[in-house]
Structure 1
Amino acid sequence: MPGSKSDKTEDNPRMLEVRSEIDDTDQQILKLLNHRASLSLEVGQLKRGTQDVIFKPFREKEVLENLRRGNAGPIPHEHLSSIYREIFSSSRALQRPQRVAYLGPEGTFSYFAGVEYLGKSVEYLPQKNLHEVFRAVHSRECELGVIPLENSLEGTVGQSLDLFLDFELHIQAELYCRISHSLLTRERSLAAITTVYSHPQPLGQCGSWLRANLPNAQIVPTESTAAAARRVRDEKGAAAIGHGKLADLLDLNILARGIENMPDNWTRFVIIGPKPSDGEGRDKTSLLFSVPDKPGSLVSVLQVMAIEGLNMKKLESRPMRGEKWRYVFFVDVESDLSDEQYKALLEELRGHCQSLRILGSYPSGPYIDVAARVDEKNLQSVPKTESVK
């Protein structure tokens, strides 16, 4: 409209000056990005012919921490981290193309966790189950894998722990993702829903909402949230529980969002690889061990850790396959047990254990709100637990 406020803004001389400065700044940023890319290529050339891994979580964490300390604003730290995640992703791809396995199909929380942490300059290869994720990394079909390890509401993903017994792989990094679930469907109201599909973990995380809002619906577990969402596209009366962004990907409606039992719902994912991570700055170590079948054997292992002052963050037992009533223990400690100072401790632990394996020493992971990466029009148009009219 002639004479409107927006027109006056466009005619403002200072606006033209600011835009010119932005253009000049963009060119400077572009020049610096290309200079950084050339340095990354040189790093790749120096590594050529070696078996060195490209993914360096310790180095990336160090860079981010240095940037945060030097950031005077006004750009928020969160935005800075997101920008540099993509810069890291591009740098790794320039050194050597990366393939990352995840529990597919596209649109699972594992997929979104991988994209948020490893960036978009990566070839993500969906796998039909967690076993195939481990197999793809173990066979070197993929350099890395993304797996869910535990949830703050539902506990450990037991299959992930069990697969470490079958495959000689290592934890290279971890990340924590806030998970928020939506009800996705072709239908337009909750009254039309007769069946709900999803992975067992989200079904458990949303059990209270389902009992209160869809008490008569049939609950059917599937291999993944994305597979559930794809299934409901062609089934009348069906709905899926999954990431809200799936509605965008598959042209579905969101009948309800934020349906998890508790809003503070986080899943811990780990990045697995065929080799241990290298570099300094390891904050945590994960171990698998078994103990002799005699009284006090577990206590003796825990006492060794306690005397050394190790802070244990997790202890969980899993049945040992092929041996009834025998167990293997999964432990997280807040120490870098790969450090030379713990060499004697590990020898002492091996003396008390039937078997002991270091799964990895790695930096403590960032907390990423993948639940916020949902299509805005869906979030704005649908109340938290009301159906679409």
Structure 2
Amino acid sequence: MTPEQLKGFRDRIDALDDEIIKLLVERAGVVQEVGRNKHKVGAAVFRPEREVAIIERMCESNKALGGPLPDQSIAAIWLEIISGCRALERVMRVSYLGPAGTYSEQAVRTLFGHRVEFFPCASLDEALSLAEKGSTDCALLPIENSIEGTVGRSLDLLLNTSLQISAEVSIPIHHSLLHKTGEVKQVKQITAHAQALAQCQRWLDAHMPDVPRVPVASNGHAAELAAKDPSVAAIAGQTAAQHYGLSALAERIEDDPSNRTRFAALGNFQPDGCGVDQTSLILSVPDKAGAMLSLIEPLARHGVSMKRFESRPARQLGAGKNGWEYFFYVDLVGHKTDPQVALALAEIQSKAGLFKLLGSYPLFEKLTAPAMPSAGSEEAV
């Protein structure tokens, strides 16, 4: 390619960028007008079903035009456009398990984009409490990890909160070994959350078997310690590395490259259906033979698919006759207003000892980046 040809291509790109920015300015102006009207009637700023519909439509349009960009790229671009425009109406406040640099913070950015106000909290209870009091617009709680299973405390909180799930996102969990200077010889201790240490056990055994491992409250806190003390290396994600200015001694050191965590956003608004929805509920059944089978039978009869069915002891309400009583956490495909889902839910509610609808909400599937093959397991530190 000659310099003249390169200049020609760059001129074309610049012209296209000029058109894009003009359209973005026009879009932002329309959003501001929408925001003024929403403010008059007290409507919610965050409409996840609308955001999912936009992202899904843009991905389909890209394919129809023969565009070379993958869905993940289109989704990421439009997420930030939506996030920036949403903030013109009002900057959303999101509470989550801190400190800064945790995977929970990464999930906040994945779901809401960068134009939000972050409220890292000392516990899941505090994060939810802030949203319940209206100090934040929503709380983002981890619900389930693909390796470790469900997050018990989050399920307990779902039982008692008045908030409803308004959106869900899943993120890949890629662990890095982080250090202040990048000098592996300085490392005398490796620290991380106990789950992260367990998830990287094979790599640690192979590459740093003699270095003591110390569990702490969170990977974010581990990164904070590593930023202060060069004798400490932390296991955490790239969000923590960027926040605390740490270097990666090794990346993707998790034993299972498919490791993921699901997060649910809880707020006081109920999204409409968008065609990519999930409904979650908590049930209990009468203590009699065949009660559970009878309870879920309407799902099969009405053609409603069940994605998750999990039991948990009913600690809050005391034990049953035999010393145990259980709640059942259920995820269904579809929105509560879908005709077949609505029929099934009505029948289940009539039979259940306890029926609590946790919410019908969109799944941000295009923002759910695929887990990448692990490269760290083959690296020498």
TM-score by length of 1: 0.86
C-alpha separation in 1, matches of 2:371 and 2:308: 25
Q: Is the Cα–Cα contact under 8 Å of residues 307 and 333 in structure 2 kept in the other structure? A: yes
Shift of the 354–220 alpha-carbon distance from structure 1 to 2, 3 Å rule, reads farther
**How many Å apart are 1:230 and its aligned residue?**
0.3
User: What is aligned with 1:375?
Assistant: none
Please give the per-residue CA displacement for 1:145-196, whole angstroms capped at 9, x wherever unaligned.
Answer: 2222111111111111111123222111112211110112347566754433
Contact 1:179–1:370 under 8 Å retained in 2: no
- Name 2:115's counterpart in structure 1: 121
Partners of 1:143 and 1:211 in 2: how far apart?
Answer: 43
Q: How many residues align?
A: 370
Cα 1:213–1:69 shift into 2, 3 Å: same
Q: Is 2:31 the partner of 1:37?
A: no
Structure 1 residues 63 and 234, CA, compared in 2 at 3 Å: closer, same or farther?
closer
The answer to whether the 8 Å contact 2:260/2:371 transfers is no
The residue matched to 1:49 in structure 2 has which SS?
helix
Greater Cα shift, 301-310 or 102-111: 301-310
Q: CA deviation at 1:218?
A: 4.1
Contact 1:187 1:193 in 2 (8 A): no
Write the letter of the residue equivalent to 1:356.
Answer: F
**What amino acid is aligned across from residue 337 of structure 2 in structure 1?**
S
Q: Does 2:18 match 1:24? A: no
Compute the displacement of 1:39 (Å). Answer: 0.9
Q: Look up the SS of the partner of 1:277 in the other structure.
A: coil
- 8 Å contact from structure 2 (residues 169, 364) kept in 1: yes
Instruction: Quote the sequence identity (%).
Output: 37
Code of the aligned partner of 2:327: V
The CA distance in 2 between the partners of 1:213 and 1:326, in whole Å, is 46
Write the letter of the residue equivalent to 1:386. A
SS at match of 1:172: strand
Aligned to 2:75: 81
1:267 aligns with 2:261: yes
Q: How has the CA–CA distance of structure 1 residues 68 and 338 changed in structure 2, closer, same or farther, with 3 Å as cutoff?
A: same
Q: 1:243 to 1:281 in 2, by over 3 A?
A: same
1:49 to 22, 40, 59: 40
SS for the counterpart of 2:110 is helix
- Matches of residues 190-205 of structure 1 in structure 2 within 5 Å? 193-205=187-199
Matched with 2:368 is 368
Give me the whole-angstrom Cα distance separating, in 1, the residues matched to 2:136 and 2:292: 36
Counterpart residue type for residue 385 of structure 1? E
Equivalence for 2:89: 95
Distance 1:77 1:371, change over 3 A: closer
Alpha-carbon separation, structure 2, partners of 1:263 and 1:288: 31
User: CA 1:25/1:202 → structure 2, altered by over 3 Å: closer, same or farther?
Assistant: same
Shift of 1:340: 4.8
CA deviation string 1:248-307 (max 9, x = no partner): 432333222211111111211222212222243252111111222333322221223233
C-alpha distance 126-143 of structure 1, shift in aligned 2 (>3 A) = same
1:240 to 234, 244, 248: 234
Answer yes or no: is the 8 Å Cα contact 1:116–1:370 preserved in 2: no
Structure 1 stretches lacking a partner, 5+ long: 373-378
Q: 1:283 to 1:251 in 2, by over 3 A?
A: closer
Distance 2:187 2:370 in 1: 27
**Distance in 2 between the 1:259 and 1:215 partners?**
14
- Which amino acid in the other structure matches residue 336 of structure 1? H
Are the aligned partners of 1:148 and 1:160 in contact in 2 as well (CA < 8 Å)? Answer: yes
Q: CA deviation at 1:232?
A: 2.4
Q: How far off its partner does 1:216 sit?
A: 4.7
CA distance in 2, matches of 1:187, 1:29: 41
Q: Take 1:298 and 1:218, find their aligned partners in 2: how far apart are those partners? A: 48
Provide the rounded CA distance (Å) in 2 between the counterparts of 1:223 and 1:97. 29
C-alpha distance in 1 between matches for 2:197 and 2:327:
28
Equivalents in 1 of 2:378, 2:39: separation in Å? Answer: 52
1:90 and 1:253 map into 2 onto residues whose CA distance is 30
| Correspondence for 1:352 | 351
Instruction: Give the drift of 1:350.
Output: 1.9
C-alpha offsets along residues 322-350 of structure 1, whole Å, 9 cap, x if unaligned?
41311111111112223355444323212
Structure 2: gaps (5+ residues):
none
| Cα distance in 1, alignment partners of residues 247 and 59 from structure 2 | 39
| Paired position in structure 2 for 1:376 | none
Q: Cα RMSD (Å) of the superposition?
A: 2.6
Report the TM-score, using the length of structure 2 for normalisation: 0.88
2:169 touches 2:264 (CA, 8 Å); kept in 1?
yes
**SS at structure 2 position matched to 1:161:** helix
Conserved 8 A contact 1:59-1:279: no
